[in-house]
Structure formats: structure tokens, C-alpha cells
Amino acid sequence: MLQAGLIAKNAVEKGLSTAPFLKTSLSPGSGVVTQYLEHSGVNEYLDKLGYTTAGYGCMTCIGNSGDLPEEVTAAMAESDLVVASVLSGNRNFEGRVHPLTRANYLASPPLVVAYSLAGTVDIDFETEPLGKDQEGKPVFLRDIWPSRADVAKVVESVVTPSLFRDFYGNTLTRNQRWNDLVAPQGDLFQWSDNSTYIHLPPFFQGMSKDVPTEIPSIKDASCLLLLGDSVTTDHISPAGNIAKTSVAARWLGEQGVGNKDFNSYGSRRGNDLVMARGTFANVRLVNKMVDRNGPFALHVPSGETIPIFDAAERYQQEGKKLVVIAGKEYGSGSSRDWAAKGPYLQGIKVVIAQSYERIHRSNLLGMGILPLQFKEGEGSETHDLNGHETYSFDFGTDVLSVAQDVTVTTSTGKTFKALCRLDTDPEIAYFMNGGILRYVLRKLL
């Protein structure tokens, strides 16, 4: 971070600046960072390039750095522009920093500043200049890159143990507004049906004290989504700002919440009614069952293309269980609990994928969703699946076993074997309980 500040200082002193068409954002991981940027004096140069601290933690990387001007987003959508973002975080999937960014890159903080000075990601720093100085001479990245000794000198002078002790030593008293909040007393939380932030979740509704002994029957399940490879938890989980045109926004509006108060999915993660509507709401999602990108599904019985949540809700009203079919690396990226909770709330009972990200597979079965895997070399295309079929699952036994085969039969007469990705005996116990939440509650009882 200090190296980025030194590059900003050197750039400003040479007369460089960031282009007006760029959106810049700075959200350090800690308030201590702001202090040592200020103590070193580089913060004023970052400010001049548009990097004024706007928040902390995951603010920018999860899409909460604010909207772009409406005319800009309209031009991006209408012209189908491939707009780039460069982030000094640890992940930057399609549409994460902003729903309309399609080319997303990771770089160190100093390189983020360098790319913003260049105004493009299509640059060779070795041979192309970042811009021109006050005399019109080209300025290359090497001309403003601080030496390792210069960086070490600044770090040694401003990054001190006392900064961390002083900042974190008053964590419990620093925010007086938080401390002044009136909190109800008692052992049980006082749920309010009127709250759009915190709602009593339905994860234990209909639950009995006894563990079910029969394998859940899944017959004639409808396909909600037919997906390709590398569908990430950013595509699945509610994340970032709540788009004004989204199903979640529609519901909030019905509750009397104005556009300016929609806030983010992260802030409303305690309300299942919002989060279920934000599941699979990524505008870059590609559902092969429909002819448009984004959060849309085909309600097969009616032939209508409607928002994914609306389709899932309609299927549930019809008493239909749901299936998701995917390609390789399903659920890659951040390990998000809502990437499993959301599909559960939408009525998804089974996912059939060519391969899974390890933790997401675990999260799915932890919510009672059955993860099945196509046999090696097989997938939706080899079995000629288009999602219009319904699916029935035969375990061939009354007792589940680790990594057993499951027979999948479609309404079109196709039959194939899939590997049941319940990989351990405890995972079988979680699944038979209807998920790990119910498993733990029964253990407590």
C-alpha cells in the first residue's frame, strides 16, 4: 500500500493524472492503513489520483464502491462493451467489482495505480509510456517505480507496533454511535416480521425430532438451470449492490423501501426473503435454457422466460422439486454459505455437475442438497440434455453408502449413472438429517 502511495507521489510530481473516464476506489483492510498512509504523507497524492479512502474491508471487491453514472452504464449495456476492472484483492470474478465489468484482473496495489495512470489494461509497461510529464516527455512505469530501499525506509518509519496497539486497543469504545444503540434483553432474539434486514429463517420449518430413515424421494424434478463450466459462487450467491431492476429490489419496493435504501446483499444477508431473491441474480450468468444472459430461467410447462426466482417460486407452488445441471468446477471461488442456502430456499434438491469446487460441494450437502457428479468424460452434452426433461433419481438401495452410483432417468427415456458425492459417513449423516443445521439441532436436543 505504501509502495502504491509512493508511485502516486512520483506520478503527481511528474504531472501525471488518472483519466476522467476511470472509476477509482480505495478501501484498505484496516484503519491502521489509513494512518500510515497519512503519516507518510502519500495519502494526499493518492487523493489527487482519485484514491480517497471510501470504506474498509471487502467494500470495493464485493461491488460496494458505488454506482457508475447512469449514462455510462446505459452505454455499456447498449453497446455490449467489454469493460475492465483491476483489483488488488484476492479474487475478481466476472461482474464482481461491478455487474457490467466483464474483463477482470488481479494486481498488486502499485500496479492498480499504474494501470489507472495508463487508463487501459491493454499496455506493455516495458515499451509504452503511462503518459507525458510537464515538458511533454514520455513517462514510463520504471520512471516512477520506487526502489526497494525507498519503500523499506518509509515502512520502517511509519508502520510501527504502536499504531496497531492504539487503533485496536479501543475497538470497544471507538464507535460511540454503536455503543449508544438500545438492544433488547433476554435469551431469545425478538424477531420482527416488519424488518427487511433480519427475518426468522425457514431452515427448521417442518422438522421433526427424529432423523428420517428413508432416502428422500426425488421424482420428476424440473431443471431450473443448465449451466456451463466455471460457474462461481459469485454467479450463485447474492453479492454486491441490489440492482434496481432485480427481483430483490421489487420485493423491497413492495415493503416500502426506497431505491436509495436498497443497500447491499451483504447488509441484508440476515433476511432470507431478500437473499433467496438474490440467488443466481448475477447479470453475467449464462443459463443455456434461455436465449439471454442474466438471471433468467425457462418455466418449461408454460414456455415463459422469467426471472430465476420467479420460476423457482412457480415450480414450488406446483409442488415440483428442482435440479441444476452444470459443467466443470461448479462453485469455484469464495466459500459462501448463501451459495448453498439460496438454492435450498429456491427448492433445488439436486445438482449434477462434471466437477465441484471442494468446499462448495460440502456446503451443498450441508444444506441437504444432493451433489451428483457425471461420470468421467460425460456431461449434459454427451447425454443430450437440454433441461426440458424432468429427472428422477434411483439410489438402488434403502441405505446410502459413500460414493455410490445413482441412476438418473429423464422423462425422455434417457438413463445414466452419476456418482453420489457424499464422500464420508458423516456427510451421509448430514444429508439424511436434511443438512448440517438440522443435524446439529437434533444433536443439541
> Per-residue pLDDT tens for 167-214?
999 888 888 999 999 988 899 999 998 999 999 999 999 899 999 999
> What is the C-alpha separation between 394 and 304, in angstroms, rounded?
30
pLDDT, residue 405, reads 97
3-state SS string over the chain?
CHHHHHHHHHHHHCCCCCCCCCCCCECCCCHHHHHHHHHHCCHHHHHHCCCCECCCCCCCCCCCCCCCCHHHHHHHHHCCCCEEEEECCCCCCCCCCCCCEEEEEECCHHHHHHHHHHCCCCCCCCCCCCEECCCCCEECHHHHCCCHHHHHHHHHHHCCHHHHHHHHHCHHHHCHHHHCCCCCCCCCCCCCCCCCCCCCCCCCCCCCCCCCCCCCCCCCEEEEEECCCCCEHHHHCCCCECCCCCHHHHHHHHCCCCHHHCCECCCCCCCHHHHHHHCCCCCCCCCCCCCCCCCEEEECCCCEEEEHHHHHHHHHHCCCCEEEECCCCECECCCCCHHHHHHHHCCEEEEEECCECHHHHHHHHHCCCEEEEECCCCCCCCCCCCCCCEEEEECCCCCCCCCCEEEEEECCCCEEEEEECCCCHHHHHHHHCCCHHHHHHHHHC
Collect all residues with Cβ–Cβ distance below 8 Å to 3 and sequence separation of at least 6.
Answer: 108, 109, 110, 146, 151
| 409 pLDDT higher than 80 | yes
pLDDT band at 62 (very low <50, low <70, confident <90, very high): confident
- Average pLDDT in the 153-163 region? 95
Among the ranges given (38-42, 53-57, 360-364, 430-434), the one the predictor scored with the smallest mean pLDDT? 53-57
Domain covering 221-237+279-444 in this structure, CATH number = 3.20.19.10
Q: Do domains 2-171 and 221-237+279-444 have the same CATH topology?
A: no
Give domain limits for the chain. 2-171, 221-237+279-444
Topology of the domain comprising 2-171? Aconitase; domain 3 (3.30.499)
> What is the C-alpha separation between 277 and 310, in angstroms, rounded?
8
> Per-residue pLDDT tens for 107-131?
999 999 999 999 999 999 999 999 9
pLDDT, residue 97, reads 84
The model carries a pTM of 0.85
What is the average pLDDT score of the chain? 94
pLDDT, residue 298, reads 98
pLDDT band at 420 (very low <50, low <70, confident <90, very high): very high
